[in-house]
């Protein structure tokens, strides 16, 4: 997974974990961080496998670096819109 490139401003980021407990811990701890805004949860009610956060790009990069080598491995990547056609259907 390539490391994120920092920049100014905010973006939407997907946070995933193989262990749902690790994701739940991160979501709970994120409530105390004013830079992290939970936008959506994806997965079964009460047991999401993915969270979508709004956060500064710098914060996302720092979290990605922190968790890519941690035993609490979380995957953090930029949220990209889905499309049926790669180039807009042209």
For residue 3, pLDDT beyond 60: no
As a CATH number, domain 11-78 is 3.30.70
Task: Please give the C-alpha separations between residue 75 and each of 13, 31, 85, 86, 87, in angstroms, as whole numbers.
Answer: 10, 19, 26, 24, 26
pLDDT classification of 6: cutoffs 50, 70, 90: low
Query: pLDDT (tens digit, 9 = 90+) per residue, 11-70?
Result: 999 999 888 889 999 999 999 999 999 999 999 888 899 999 999 999 999 999 888 776
pLDDT classification of 81: cutoffs 50, 70, 90: confident
For residue 7, pLDDT beyond 80: no
For the chain, give every domain's residue range.
11-78
Question: Which pLDDT score is estimated for 87?
Answer: 61
């Amino acid at each position: 997974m390539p490391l994120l490139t920092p920049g100014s401003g905010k973006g939407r980021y997907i946070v995933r974990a193989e262990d749902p407990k690790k994701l739940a811990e991160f979501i709970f701890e994120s409530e105390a961080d004013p830079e992290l805004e939970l936008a959506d949860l994806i997965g079964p009610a009460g047991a999401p496998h993915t969270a979508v956060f709004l956060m500064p790009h710098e914060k996302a990069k720092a979290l990605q670096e922190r968790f890519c080598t941690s035993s609490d491995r979380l995957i953090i990547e930029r949220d990209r819109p889905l499309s049926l056609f790669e180039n807009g259907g042209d």
